[in-house]
Amino acid sequence: MSKRILFTGGGTAGHVTPNIALIEALKAKQWTIDYVGSQTGIERQLIEPLAVPFHGIKTGKLRRYFSWQNFIDPGLIAWGFLQSLLLCLRLRPNVVFSKGGFVAVPLVVAAWVCRIPVISHESDMTPGLANRLCFPFSRWICVNFPQTATHLPTNKVLVTGSPVRTQLLNGDSTRARAEYGLAGIKPLLLVFGGSLGANVINRVVRQSLNALLDQFDLIHVVGAGNLDESLTARAGYIQREYIHGGFGDVLAAADLVLSRAGANSIYELLITRTPHILVPLSAAASRGDQLINARTFQQAGMSEVLYEDQLSEPALLECIHRIYAQRKTIEARLSDFKIHDSVAMISALIHQAAEEKTGGVETKL
């Protein structure tokens, strides 16, 4: 009989794309797979092409600041819990895997109530609030980096790295240049600000476009609704709102990357040994997790960091030219980063949790 797993995670692509890598692996092992996400988040858009049943639930957010939504969201969270409870009772999964985001909290708690084992995954150096709420109900907590384990219960934590899609690891630079009509004469600069875009990065990159295109071809992932139609005819400048497929090819072709400092983005850059510059979200726009991520790998000599309050056309151009000139040295440092077979490790955990749930014999990791 096929085993069943419920995946959850949403709000940003970083809470979804690791799940996609695991879904690909478990499909090959004949698991029955469902996805639980918010009704309006990006997760539905990313999951539907996989032909996996998607179950939208109500979700709220716990804010540390005053907002009128704070009076409404507890009711949405409670409704999401009831929806999740009904899903658990109807679908009877063997395991729940949570990648985080506030949409995960109701399902994780409902699974615990139904005695369904939960495996959670934390990407950042320090756990976010949603995951901290989930951890007491989790059988295991998987993390990207050893530094994260110091913040978590030692009897639950495993350093697995982040599940990465097969197409990301098998990128083809020639295919990317053919897809985007780039001759390959100039090196390629890839700029992306995460699934929700990054207006400050977009603005400064476009201000610097003339100087950048003198040296580089440029693929610029701008985020939804941020295309600039006046720039579509610029030779060597490719704009996309989001790259759904073929991102591994683009990353393989890139000689240098300018990126936000989300943990999954950093992990992908580290395992593909791609020289990069990180522009972390400021503490005013986030809980500060990207600042911690960026500083950690800057101190390790693997990442260059350009902070938002330093971001200007001269600073950007100086940093890009300097890091591009040092790229061979940086690639050598990146080769020291330990790569885990995250998909295999977490798939084994999922199988073990399912065996424990059904009273089977534990699978050795």
Q: Is residue 318 part of a domain?
A: yes
Query: Do 351 and 328 share a structural domain?
Result: no
Q: Is residue 175 part of a domain?
A: yes
Would you state the pLDDT for residue 168?
A: 85
Mention every residue, 6+ apart, whose C-beta is less than 8 A from residue 288. Answer: none
325 φ/ψ angles, rounded to the nearest 5 degrees:
-65, -30
The CATH number assigned to the domain holding 22 equals 3.40.50.2000
Q: Is residue 363 part of a domain?
A: no
Whether the Cβ atoms of residue 255 and residue 275 lie closer than 8 Å to each other: yes
Would you state the pLDDT for residue 363?
A: 36
Query: Do 327 and 199 share a structural domain?
Result: yes
For residue 51, give both structure tokens: 């032909």
Query: Do 328 and 186 share a structural domain?
Result: yes
Query: Do 316 and 235 share a structural domain?
Result: yes
Would you state the pLDDT for residue 358?
A: 64
Task: State the Rg of the chain over Cα.
Answer: 21
Burial 101-128 (b: 16+ CB within 10 A, else e): bbbbbbbbbbbbeeebbbbbbbbbbbbb
What is the extent of the structural domain holding 24?
Answer: 4-161+340-357
Q: Where does 171-316 show beta strands of DSSP type E?
A: 188-192, 217-221, 237-240, 256-259, 276-278, 304-305
Sheet with strand 140-143: strands edge to edge: 54-57, 32-38, 4-8, 95-98, 118-122, 140-143, 157-159
Would you state the pLDDT for residue 72?
A: 65
Query: Do 258 and 239 share a structural domain?
Result: yes
According to DSSP, residue 155 is labeled T
- Walk along the chain (365 residues) and give the pLDDT tens digit of each residue: 689 999 999 988 888 989 999 999 999 999 999 999 998 888 998 999 999 999 999 886 654 544 556 556 667 788 999 999 999 999 999 999 999 999 999 999 999 999 999 999 999 888 888 899 999 999 999 999 888 888 888 889 999 999 998 888 889 999 999 999 999 999 999 999 865 558 899 999 999 999 999 999 999 999 888 999 999 889 999 999 988 778 999 999 999 999 999 888 899 999 999 999 999 988 766 778 899 999 999 998 999 999 998 999 999 999 999 999 999 999 999 998 888 899 999 999 999 999 887 654 333 33
Q: How far, in Å, are 43, 252, 324, 347 from residue 330 at the CA level?
A: 34, 16, 9, 32
Query: Do 322 and 178 share a structural domain?
Result: yes
Query: Do 311 and 275 share a structural domain?
Result: yes
For residue 333, the one-letter residue type is R
Would you state the pLDDT for residue 9?
A: 94
For residue 337, the one-letter residue type is F
- The 10s digit of each residue's pLDDT in 293-338 is 999 999 989 999 999 989 999 999 999 999 999 999 999 999 988 8
Mean of the per-residue pLDDT values of the chain: 89
Query: Do 154 and 13 share a structural domain?
Result: yes
Whether the Cβ atoms of residue 279 and residue 259 lie closer than 8 Å to each other: yes
Whether the Cβ atoms of residue 187 and residue 254 lie closer than 8 Å to each other: no
How far, in Å, CA of 162 to CA of 234, rounded? Answer: 36
Query: Do 100 and 196 share a structural domain?
Result: no
Three-state SS at 319: helix
Query: Do 212 and 154 share a structural domain?
Result: no
Query: Do 191 and 113 share a structural domain?
Result: no
How far, in Å, CA of 23 to CA of 314, rounded? Answer: 43
Would you state the pLDDT for residue 365?
A: 37
User: No. of H helices and E strands in the chain?
Assistant: 15, 13
Query: Do 258 and 349 share a structural domain?
Result: no
Would you state the pLDDT for residue 314?
A: 97
Would you state the pLDDT for residue 278?
A: 97
